[in-house]
Amino acid sequence: MSTSLSDATIPFDAAVLERWLTSHVDGFAGPLKISRFKVGQSNPSYLLDTPSSRYVMRTKPAPAAKLLPSAHAIDREFRVQSALFGSDVPVAKMYRLCEDESIIGRAFYIMDFVEGRIFWEQSLPGVPAEERHAIYVELNRVIAALHGLDVAALGLGDYGKAGNYFVRQVDRWTRQYRACELQRIDAMERLIEWLPANIPSEETPQVSLVHGDYRIDNVIFHPTEPRILAVIDWELSTLGHPLADFAYHLMSWHMPQGALRGLRDLDLAALGIPDEATYIAMYRERTGAAEADWNYFLAYNVFRLAAIVQGIAKRASEGIASNSTGNEHAQYVEPLAELAWSFARKLPFDKGSTAHVRHV
């Protein structure tokens, strides 16, 4: 895991936490040194160092934060990773969930520190072309494995609601966007009308465990091998549509370079990175997924990302963002909304909303 750490003051009593760890985590022995990871906009994470072991503590935001509905559910993160440990989807070992807020002032859980590489840019600068290709093949393998898991056998059959996935998700992200709205964005208004009116029909709804935020900087690679050691940041995981989850991952191919760290307009062949069509074919071969029109899935996911980014910007405006980059996010909401709308406009429009007609 990345060790980009902050020297910020720890906002809780380290001695109280150390006593709790000694009593509740097998094998824990102090003295304890605590550092906060700089990265992360949602649930603050801390590196816990002892003479013999290293752990990660992931917490809810500060009690003063105004939490959005269903956000920051670290109990769910703990549950899903506990269930996945030892499966074909690599995760860190979970130790203990603490929902007693008297310990550090908020709920938290403890997991293993996984030593490895986190790549922050999709284009993998400085990595040889052959390894870039192998890294993307591994990313594809793991998300395909995730969508092939037997959730009932893992004890996760009740981890999300069955059916009406897009209805529930579009409603959720619309509500969360409205709760964080800083200004009117026309493309978001169009999408809020268009998305629920154009949900793809399915004879047999597809349901799998979905990560919800599967991207290259949410996995930890082996220090020297193109092999994933742990998938991290499961806050948005649920039972849902596997193609929607995969399409979120596909957004990288449509995002520009720079702050959004995408692959658009790059010479992927020269870099050794599969193009989007090849990457989709890999996934379909592994999962048996049917051919699909990805435009709705992409429109939904970029809309959802815009709502998430709006939430980060809102927290920053209130001084409660998890790191100092939150204020920069407001500028990305409208471009993301416009990108989402560009996917929506590629689909036939025949389901009753007037949004497409008004704005073409």
Q: What is the 3-state secondary structure (H, E, C) of the chain?
A: CCCCEECCCCCCCHHHHHHHHHHHCCCCCCCCEEEEECCCCCCCEEEEECCCCEEEEEECCCCCCCCCCCCCCHHHHHHHHHHHCCCCCCCCCEEEEECCCCCCCCCEEEEECCCCECCCCCCCCCCCHHHHHHHHHHHHHHHHHHHCCCCCCCCCCCCCCCCCHHHHHHHHHHHHHHHHCCCCCHHHHHHHHHHHHCCCCCCCCCCEEECCCCCHHHEEECCCCCCEEEECCCCCCEEECHHHHHHHHHHHHHCCCHHHCCCCCCCHHHHCCCCHHHHHHHHHHHHCCCCCCCHHHHHHHHHHHHHHHHHHHHHHHCCCCCCCCHHHHHHHHHHHHHHHHHHHCCCCCCCCCCHHHHHC
Class of domain 5-112 as given by CATH: alpha beta
User: In CATH, which superfamily holds the domain spanning 129-359?
Assistant: Aminoglycoside phosphotransferase (APH), C-terminal lobe (3.90.1200.10)
What pLDDT score was predicted for residue 259? 66
Which residues belong to CATH 3.90.1200.10 in the chain?
129-359
Q: Pinpoint the residues of the chain covered by CATH 3.30.200.20.
A: 5-112
Q: What is the pLDDT along the chain (360 residues), one digit of tens a residue?
A: 445 665 557 889 999 999 999 999 999 999 999 999 876 557 889 999 999 999 999 999 876 555 555 556 899 999 999 999 999 999 999 999 999 999 999 999 999 999 999 999 999 999 999 999 999 999 999 999 999 999 999 999 999 987 789 999 999 999 999 999 888 999 999 999 999 999 988 767 789 999 999 999 999 999 999 999 999 999 999 999 999 999 999 999 999 887 678 999 999 999 999 999 999 999 999 999 988 889 999 999 999 999 999 988 887 777 655 554 545 777 889 999 999 999 999 987 554 444 443 332
